Every structure is written in C-alpha cells, then in structure tokens.
Structure 1
Amino acid sequence: MLDRLDRWAAGLTSLAALIGTLGLIAEVVVILADVVGRYFGAPLSGAQDVSTMAMVILVFGGMALCDRQGGHIAVDLFEGAMPVWMRHAGDVISALLGAAIFAGIAWTMWESAQLSKMLNLATNIIQLPKVWFQYAVIVFSLIAAFGMGLRAVTLMFGGMRRHRIEDAL
C-alpha cells in the first residue's frame, strides 16, 4: 500500500517539478528578451509580471522534489550525539511539521484566491489574473504536504530514512 502511494507521490512530484521547470524556462526567456529589448530601446512589456508569476511556479513547483530528495536545509550540529531513536523521532516530527506548514500555505492561499477571484485581482502591467497562480500554489503545496506526510508515515512504520543530498557527496 505504501509502495503504491509512494509511486503516486513520485509521479505527482515529477509533474510538479516539470511544471516548475517550465516556469524556469519562461523566466529565463522573458528576462533575456527584456534585457536584449532594453539594449535596443524596446523593453518587453509585462516582463516584470511574467517573471514574478513564473518565479511562483518555479519555487512551489520544485518544493516537493526538493523534499523528496532531501534537499531542504538541515542543521545537524547535535545529531551525532543523539541516540538513533531521537534522530528518527526528529525525522518524523520534521516531516509532519513540514506537511502541516504546506497544508497551512495551501489553506491560506485558498482564502487569498477566493478574495482575488471576488475582486478580480490581476498583475499590474499586463493584467494576468492572480487567481490562477494562487491555485497553482495550492496544488503544489498540497503535493509537497502529501509527500512529507507520506514520508512521516513511512518513517513511523519502519521505513528507511531518506539520505540527504550532502550525505551522497
């Protein structure tokens, strides 16, 4: 059962990361076009709006992948002096706390999206509707929360501790 959920989480994480990658590509193309346009005296209209919204997609789209690969910042000054059970408990608690934080982000963004929808809020220059980007943050945050919650459950039932990126170096 957990293996099936993990495969599903991996697929959702990959999809979110792919969309985040598209946000990165859009960001680079828009900034490049704007810089070249400014050099020739014709800056790209709305570049600030597009790059801001692309950054939202980039950051939140990659968050679940960052967690899945153990890429979040970890300060482990005292970890070597702790017993194994305490390190394990810390891993479970941090996963649960992360899941709660991202669920909270999704919830507050949902409330903000309802306001944006009601007031028809848009970006300043080219009037991109903000609500669609807020919906994207909700989905990406829920994917990250799901992955972190699944990691906590896996750790609680004797699953392996995921290696951090620096452990692999």
Structure 2
Amino acid sequence: MIRTVLTRAVDRLIDLSAALGGVALVFVTLVILVDVVGRFFGTPLTGAQDISQMTLVIIVFAGMALCDRLGGHVAVDIFANAFSNRQNRWLDVFAQLTGAVIFAGIAWTVWESAKLSQMLHLSTNIIGLPKVYFQWTLAAFAALTSLGMLLRAIQTVLTPTTGRIDHQEEVL
C-alpha cells in the first residue's frame, strides 16, 4: 500500500519534471529562433547564450528521471548471457543503486554549490541571471532521479520474476 502510494507520487513528480523539461525545450528553441532572426537583421537577442545555457541545464536534468523510468539509460550487457537470470537481476539492482547514489551525490554537490552562489550572488555573464535558482532546480531534478532509481531497485528486489528486468534493446 505505502509502496504503491509512494510509487504513484514519484511517478507524478517524474511526469511533472518531464513536462517542465518539454516546456524548457520549447522555450530555448524560441530563444534561439529569436536570436538567429535577430542576428539576420543585426539585432541579436541580448543574453541568448545565458538563457540557453541555463535552460539546457533544466532540459537535461528534467528528463533524466523519465529516461530512467523508461529504461532509456545505456546498458551494456556483454556478459548477460554468461550469468544466470538471478545474477543478472542482482546486477540490475546494483546498477540502479549505483545510479541512485551517483544522482544523490550530484544533488548534494549542486545544493552545496548553490549555497555558495547565493552567498556570493553569482550570476550569468551577460544578463546577470542568478545561478542559484538553476542550481536548486538541478538539485531537485537530480534528487528525483535518485529517488526514482532507488524505488526501481526496491521494486526489482520485491517483484518476483523469472527473467531479467525488461530493457529496451536496440537492434544494430
């Protein structure tokens, strides 16, 4: 019951982060379009580089949790056939837990960096956007990705299955 409620809540947050990433992608596309058209007429958009850089941070990290939930991260399974299903399952759990630790580390490191940015009033070079808001956003998305990976590891352990967790395979 609690696991289901928690999983649903995290899934909704992941969907929200993906939607925010989509909005950010549309926004940065419009910024670049306005900048390119402006350059053609000799008046580029002031701060387009700052806006693009900060928005790309949102785009990348907003979609990371969804990518994990869909199994979209790179998985190299060269030795998968050499191991039993049980061993492969535990390797999947290990990979998910490792990813959760890595993204928790990213979230914590960026959160600490945000404290410095806030204290020193750091901002972007051209138009002076405060960096702290983007760092907080990145930390939140990284923490969400970490939580999603942790829940997937728990789900992998608790879900009875005879085979591997389904991964999307690309045929070469």
Question: So what's the TM-score if we normalise by structure 2?
Answer: 0.93
Alignment map for 1:2-81 (pairs within 5 Å)? 2-81=3-82
Alignment map for 1:93-112 (pairs within 5 Å)? 93-112=94-113
Q: Which runs of 5+ in 1 are unaligned?
A: none
CA 1:159–1:66 in structure 2 vs 1: closer, same or farther (change >3 Å)? farther
1:164 to 161, 164, 167: 167
Coordinate RMSD, CA, aligned: 1.5
Identity percentage of aligned residues: 50
- TM-superposed deviation, 1:167: 6.9
Whether the 8 Å contact between 1:70 and 1:162 is mirrored in structure 2 is no
Distance 1:33 1:133 in 2: 22
The secondary structure found in structure 1 opposite 2:169 is helix
Aligned to 2:131: 130
- Residues 70-109 of structure 1: CA distance to partner in whole angstroms, max 9, x if unpaired? 0001111111221111100111001100100010001100
- Letter of the aligned partner of 2:67 in structure 1? C
- TM-superposed deviation, 1:164: 2.3
- Residues 100-132 of structure 1: CA distance to partner in whole angstroms, max 9, x if unpaired? 001000110011000000000000011000000
- TM-superposed deviation, 1:159: 5.2
Q: Which runs of 5+ in 2 are unaligned?
A: none
Whether the 8 Å contact between 2:18 and 2:63 is mirrored in structure 1 is yes
Report runs of 4+ in structure 1 exceeding 4 Å deviation.
159-162
CA 1:102–1:162 in structure 2 vs 1: closer, same or farther (change >3 Å)? same
- TM-superposed deviation, 1:162: 4.5
- Residues 13-58 of structure 1: CA distance to partner in whole angstroms, max 9, x if unpaired? 0011111111111110011111111111111100000000110000
How many pairs were matched up? 168
Question: So what's the TM-score if we normalise by structure 1?
Answer: 0.95
- Letter of the aligned partner of 2:134 in structure 1? F
- Letter of the aligned partner of 2:133 in structure 1? W
The secondary structure found in structure 1 opposite 2:150 is helix
- Letter of the aligned partner of 2:166 in structure 1? H
- TM-superposed deviation, 1:146: 0.6
